[in-house]
């Protein structure tokens, strides 16, 4: 089946620094990657949709200059949280579209804590 590897699983960073989260599709080509954010006891909120080789499409209210998304290849997409602040602390999850599971495979998530 389709597998998406997401790293790191947990990261703690200081306020003002940047953090990069990687998602790799291991056995299929991910033409589209979705990036979600989930706050405690909340649902997954779509942040942006990225297609390989083109600019990401951000949801309303998501700052594209703060959450940099790169999808340079069919197997790798990255999300960089720039100048992180404590309010950016959240659970970030990627999801790659494919032909398995009716179209979506999720990464294992990254717990970001900004101190």
Partner 1 sequence: GQNIDQPTEMTATEGAIVQINCTYQTSGFNGLFWYQQHAGEAPTFLSYNVLDGLEEKGRFSSFLSRSKGYSYLLLKELQMKDSASYLCAVREAYSGAGSYQLTFGKGTKLSVIP
Q: Which residues bind partner 1 (CB under 8 A)?
A: 6, 31-32, 34, 36, 42-46, 49-51, 54, 57, 91, 93, 95, 97, 101-104, 106-109, 111
Q: Please, are residues 6 and 91 in contact by the beta-carbon 8 Å criterion?
A: no
Give burial (CB, 10 Å; 0-12/13-18/19+) of 69: buried
The CB-of-96 to partner 1 minimum distance in angstroms stands at 10
The distance of Cα 54 from the centroid of its chain, to the nearest Å, equals 16
What CA dihedral angle connects 37, 39, 45 and 50, to 10 degrees?
0
| Residue number with CB closer to partner 1 (15 or 57) | 57
Min CB(83)–partner 1 separation in Å: 26
Give whichever of 71 and 88 is closer to partner 1, judged by the CB atom. 71
Q: Which is nearer to partner 1, 32 or 70 (CB)?
A: 32
Q: What is the nearest approach in angstroms of partner 1 to the Cβ of residue 15?
A: 23
What is the chain's alpha carbon radius of gyration, rounded to the nearest angstrom? 13
């Amino acid at each position: 089946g389709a597998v998406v590897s997401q790293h790191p699983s947990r990261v703690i960073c200081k306020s003002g620094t940047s953090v990069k989260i990687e998602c790799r599709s291991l056995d299929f080509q991910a033409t589209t990657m979705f990036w979600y954010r989930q706050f405690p006891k909340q649902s997954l909120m779509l942040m942006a949709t990225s297609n390989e080789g083109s600019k990401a499409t951000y949801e309303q209210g998501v700052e594209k200059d703060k959450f940099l998304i790169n999808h340079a290849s069919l197997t790798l997409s990255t999300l960089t949280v720039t100048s992180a602040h404590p309010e950016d602390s959240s659970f970030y999850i990627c999801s790659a579209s494919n032909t398995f599971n009716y179209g979506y495979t999720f990464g294992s998530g990254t717990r970001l804590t900004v101190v």
